[in-house]
Amino acid sequence: MSYLSPIHIIGGQGGNPFTFSGESNGATLKKIWVWVGGWQVKAIKVWLTDGQSQQFGNPAGNPAQFEFADGEQISSLSLWGNGAGTRLGAIKFITNRSREFFAHMTDWGLKTEYPIDVGSGICLGLKGRAGSDIDSLGIIFINSIKSTVLTNVNYPTIHQVIPQVVVEEIKSNSYENKSDVTQSYKVETSKKITKKSSWSVANKIETTFTVGVKAGIPEVAEVSSGFSFTLGVQSSYGLENSEERTESLSFSVQVPPRKTVVANITIGRATVDLPYTGTVEITCYNDSVLRFNTKGIYKGLTYTSAKTVVTEK
């Protein structure tokens, strides 16, 4: 089974074949211009969300133009030949924002309309045949989508970057032991912390697909030389996450006889900014999978474990 909807190519057999698609990186259709003549579609130019563009046929006159908003997809599409079996005659689509595009030859009347299965409505590009005109055209759609996941996430520089940690004091208490034996005290407090994590993705993928993430999150640990990044256990996330919780902290403080000690409870806060690489897996309802590599920036806000430092006065 294919992750692409069936591609129906409408028109004639002349010209040279072409394919222009964002299949390799998840780029989707962003903008389309169509030039028409009296008995044919003369030229098409399309732009994808990765900035690539291509033009087919020889334009003349002013084009019909359409630019997709972020998240806008095609909900219905029809193509027409020119009625003589030699050229493309017309393109019409309606989007999920109820906007319509219709470009058609100007002299010859339209005959047979070919409604096209748009699958998920997410258009990756075009294929067909063209010379001086658009001889034939098919539109490339992803099939109906079950899930989209960013997986196989790696952070290439995680062990080369030293975390920038800001140490915050949570509580400071003084304990005086006037007796002749060691006294034990319990220090208890709480701290509200907010952890954040986000993965940027290329080609406006986040506006087209609902993307989940299966990854480990970079954490900060205190080591003998200071602080370092470690990788947390893989779990499931959204592209942007924020988790607020209150941590209850409890430490035991030993105070020697006839001594006074100060117990400081501290926690380290670190902002994480690391490049990542990964794979986007788009699974369709027919269980076929479109995979492509991606890269971006992981940004996070994380905390070290709280600790207590005891000093004698």
- What is the per-residue pLDDT for 225? 84
Q: Do 108 and 235 share a domain, yes or no?
A: no
Q: Do 109 and 151 share a domain, yes or no?
A: no
Residue 1 resides in a domain: no
Give per-residue pLDDT as tens, 197-251: 999 999 999 999 999 999 999 999 988 888 999 999 999 999 999 999 998 999 9
CATH of the domain at 22: 2.100.10.30
Q: Do 276 and 135 share a domain, yes or no?
A: no
Full domain range(s) for residue 281:
147-312
Token pair for 79: 């193509």
Q: Do 119 and 166 share a domain, yes or no?
A: no
Residue 260 resides in a domain: yes
Residue 2 resides in a domain: no
Residues of the chain with pLDDT under 70: none
Q: Do 159 and 210 share a domain, yes or no?
A: yes
CATH of the domain at 164: 2.170.15.10
Give per-residue pLDDT as tens, 30-45: 999 999 999 999 999 9
Q: Do 239 and 129 share a domain, yes or no?
A: no
- What is the per-residue pLDDT for 1? 74
Q: Do 61 and 87 share a domain, yes or no?
A: yes
Q: Where among 143, 172, 203 does a domain terminate?
A: 143
Q: Do 155 and 139 share a domain, yes or no?
A: no
Pairing, β 88-95 against β 74-81: antiparallel
Pairing, β 145-154 against β 211-215: parallel
- What is the per-residue pLDDT for 301? 98
Residue 256 resides in a domain: yes
Q: Do 215 and 256 share a domain, yes or no?
A: yes
Q: Do 225 and 274 share a domain, yes or no?
A: yes
How many separate domains does the chain show? Answer: 2
Q: Where among 101, 117, 143 does a domain terminate?
A: 143
Q: Do 119 and 226 share a domain, yes or no?
A: no
Token pair for 188: 């208890």
Q: Where among 76, 109, 143 does a domain terminate?
A: 143
DSSP annotation string for the chain:
--SBPP---EE-S-SEEEEEE-TTTT--EEEEEEEE-SSSEEEEEEEETTS-EEEEE---SPPEEEEPPTT--EEEEEEEE-SSSSSEEEEEEEETTS-EEEEE-SSSPP--EEEE--TTS-EEEEEEEESSSEEEEEEEEBPPEEEEEEEEEE-TTTTTPPP-EEEEEEEEEEEE--SSS-EEEEEEEEEEEEEEEEE--STTHHHHS-EEEEEPPEEEEEETTEEEEEEPPPEEEESEEEEEEEEEEEEEEEE-TT-EEEEEEEEEEEEEEEEEEEEEEEEETTS-EEEEEEEEEEEEEEEPPPEEEEEE-
Residue 4 resides in a domain: no
Residue 5 resides in a domain: no
Q: Do 110 and 168 share a domain, yes or no?
A: no
Confirm whether pTM is higher than 0.85.
Answer: yes
- What is the per-residue pLDDT for 5? 98
